[in-house]
């Protein structure tokens, strides 16, 4: 396949409670789409519509009730197919930023020293040069998320999944993090699947935007984002930008 990711007819039903009061919630229904190599695709939708669940199914953390997901196999020995960035930075507080970024290799039992130069390069891309030996408690929220992103890219995954990574960050920092993310994406040529509730953010970052509904969560639309790259401040002044944002907002109602 020339696509990196293939989601086939995924349906996810959650059950809670027991006996006569058993609740069945269809969180996702018939989700079907494809992501091509090097694409940046966003998933947007109202809260509770299962976007995070979908991402976790793709990551292999949840087995879908129905349907299947095809992900690429590991590119090379010493790497894993998927990288995941959470909303919380999920760093190990007793390790330095560099230690955290090298942690996947520690888990895989690979030589971390050998991997250091590559990771340091990622730090540079993320604008964190000089902060490698800082501890998480010494870093701001935005910086911690950047470390988390570096960590997820450190082992060269074929697919990067991001679950509202900037959701807990303030708006100003978020804008600069968006640009840093685009820089890193451009340099590393990764395939990214990005979940967010911020429509403008999704349009700014992506090639395509998947709009998810709720109750049940199904794909309402997959929109092409036709704006020029590289994206910057001017992109946001482009009438096509907020035209698309407005249109997507309508679709979500």
Partner 1 sequence: MKRRDLWIRFLSFLAAAAAVAGWHFYVTLGKVPAFILPGPEAVARQLISMVRDGSLLFHMGITSAGIVTGFLIGSVLGFVLGYFLAKSRVLEAALFPYLIAVQATPKVTLIPLFVIWFGLGLASKLLLVVLSAFFPVLLNTVIGFRSVPREYYELMRILNATERQMLYKVKLPLSLPILMAGLKVAMVQAVIGTIVAEWVSGKSGLGYLLVYGSTQFDSRLLLAAIFATTLVGLFFFWIIEIIESRALFWHESKIILEEGL
Partner 2 sequence: MKRPGHVGRILSAAALPAGLLVVWKAATLVFRLPTTFLPPPEAVASRFISLIGSSVIQKHFSTTAVEIIFGFLCAAVLGVLAGYILAKFAVLEKVLSPFILIFQTAPKISLAPLFVLWFGLGLSSKVVLIALVAFFPIMLNFMVGVRSINPDYLRLMKILKAPLLKRVVKIEFVGSLPFLMTGMRTALVLSVTAAIIGEMMGAKSGLGFLLMNGYEMYDIPMVIGVILAISFFSWALDTAMKVLQDRLLFWHESADRM
Q: Which residues bind partner 2 (CB under 8 A)?
A: 16-21, 23
d(CA 229, CA 232): 8
Residue 63's binding partner out of partner 2, partner 1, none, with CB under 5 to 8 Å set by partner kind: none
Which of residues 48 and 243 has its CB atom nearest to partner 2 in the complex?
A: 48
* DSSP secondary structure letters along 91-116: --TTS-HHHHHHHHHHHHT--HHHHH
How near is the Cβ of 66 to partner 1 at its closest, in Å? 22
- Which helix (H) or strand (E) is 217 found in, with range? none
Which of residues 12 and 199 has its CB atom nearest to partner 1 in the complex?
A: 12
Task: Specify whether the CB–CB gap between 190 and 122 falls below 8 A.
Answer: no
Name the residue with tokens 């082992």.
Answer: 155
Which of residues 17 and 109 has its CB atom nearest to partner 2 in the complex?
A: 17
Residue 233's binding partner out of partner 2, partner 1, none, with CB under 5 to 8 Å set by partner kind: none
Residue 220's binding partner out of partner 2, partner 1, none, with CB under 5 to 8 Å set by partner kind: none
How near is the Cβ of 168 to partner 2 at its closest, in Å? 17
Residues 6+ apart with CB under 8 A from 34: 3, 5, 6, 7
Residue 23's binding partner out of partner 1, partner 2, none, with CB under 5 to 8 Å set by partner kind: partner 2
Phi/psi for 8 (5° steps) reads: -115, 110
Which of residues 19 and 130 has its CB atom nearest to partner 2 in the complex?
A: 19
């Amino acid at each position: 396949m020339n696509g990196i990711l293939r989601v086939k007819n995924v349906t996810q039903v959650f059950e809670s409670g027991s006996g006569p009061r058993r609740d069945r919630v269809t969180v996702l229904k018939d989700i079907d789409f494809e992501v091509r190599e090097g694409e940046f695709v966003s998933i947007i939708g109202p809260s509770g519509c299962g976007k995070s669940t979908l991402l976790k199914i793709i990551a292999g953390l949840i087995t879908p009730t129905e349907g299947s997901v095809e992900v690429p196999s590991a590119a090379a020995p010493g790497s894993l197919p998927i990288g995941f960035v959470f909303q919380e930075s999920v760093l190990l507080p007793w390790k330095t930023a560099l230690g955290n970024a090298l942690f996947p290799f520690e888990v895989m039992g690979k030589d971390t020293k050998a991997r250091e130069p590559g990771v340091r390069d990622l730090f540079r891309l993320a604008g964190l040069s000089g902060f490698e030996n800082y501890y998480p408690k010494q870093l701001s929220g935005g910086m911690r998320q950047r470390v988390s992103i570096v960590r997820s890219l450190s082992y060269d995954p074929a697919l990067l999944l991001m679950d509202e990574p900037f959701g807990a960050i303030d708006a100003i920092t978020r804008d600069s993090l968006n640009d840093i993310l685009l820089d890193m994406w451009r340099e590393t040529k990764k395939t990214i699947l990005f979940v967010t509730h911020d429509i403008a953010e999704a349009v700014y970052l992506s090639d395509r935007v998947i709009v998810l509904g709720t109750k049940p969560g199904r794909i309402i639309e997959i929109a092409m984002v036709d704006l020029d790259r590289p994206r910057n401040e001017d992109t946001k002044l482009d009438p096509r930008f907020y035209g698309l944002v407005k249109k997507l907002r309508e679709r979500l109602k």
